[in-house]
Amino acid sequence: MDRHPPGRRQRVGAYGICLNAEGHVLLTRAAPWLSVAGRWFLPGGGIDHGEDPQQALRREVAEETGLDVRIGDLLGVLSDVAELPGGSSLHTIRIIFGVTRWSGVLRPETGGSTDDARWVPVEDALSMPVLPYVRTALTRYR
């Protein structure tokens, strides 16, 4: 039996809530070529086949922000379904971790799925054009 009929996809990702001493959260912005261009995410992304979720998060954060992170506790798991352009359905499972430490110099990703990375006051982040899971994660887990 096919678990994912045509027009249905599933994706599992690992994302981090990085809060600095000033109460700012680290966010990344979707690149212009994505269907969600200009929207803001928590740093992180898809877990490759066979990859440990914490290692995936470290890899994704390094790609998107230039930072080397230390992963803290598992904060929770979020699940949502979204309609994609063309009418297909995407079920995303997001594993949310706390990030306890980071080092390096913040910089935007070049040629990837994000085009900006910045520290934003949490209250400002909640009113920015973020994907719904970001608002949920920040409300539940920060």
Query: Is 132 among the domain residues?
Result: yes
Paired sense of beta strands 114-121 and 24-30, if any: antiparallel
What Rg do the C-alpha atoms of the chain give, in angstroms?
A: 15
- CATH number for the domain harbouring residue 81: 3.90.79.10
Confirm whether 52 is domain-assigned: yes
Q: Is the pLDDT of residue 103 over 60?
A: yes
Whether residue 110 is contained in a domain is answered as yes
In-domain check, residue 7: no
pLDDT at 86 (0 to 100)? 84
For the entire predicted model, the pTM comes to 0.92
Examine the pLDDT at 90 and tell me if it is beyond 60.
yes
Alpha-carbon distance 95 to 36, whole Å? 20
Structure confidence by residue, pLDDT tens digits, 3-35: 656 789 999 999 999 999 999 999 999 999 998
Q: Which residues touch 81 (CB under 8 Å, ≥6 apart)?
A: 89, 90, 91, 92
Q: Contact at 8 Å (CB) between 122 and 19? A: yes
Full DSSP string of 60-120: HHHHHHS-EEEEEEEEEEEEEEEEPTTS-EEEEEEEEEEEEEEES-----SSSSEEEEEEE
Q: How many domains does the chain contain in total? A: 1
How large is the average pLDDT for residues 45-62?
Answer: 98
Q: Structural domain of residue 77, as residue ranges? A: 18-141
Question: Of the candidates 25, 95, 96, which has an alpha carbon nearest to the alpha carbon of residue 65?
Answer: 25
Contact predicate 44/13, CB 8 Å: yes
Look at residue 28 and tell me if it is in a domain. Answer: yes
Average pLDDT, the chain: 94
Residue 31 falls inside a structural domain: yes
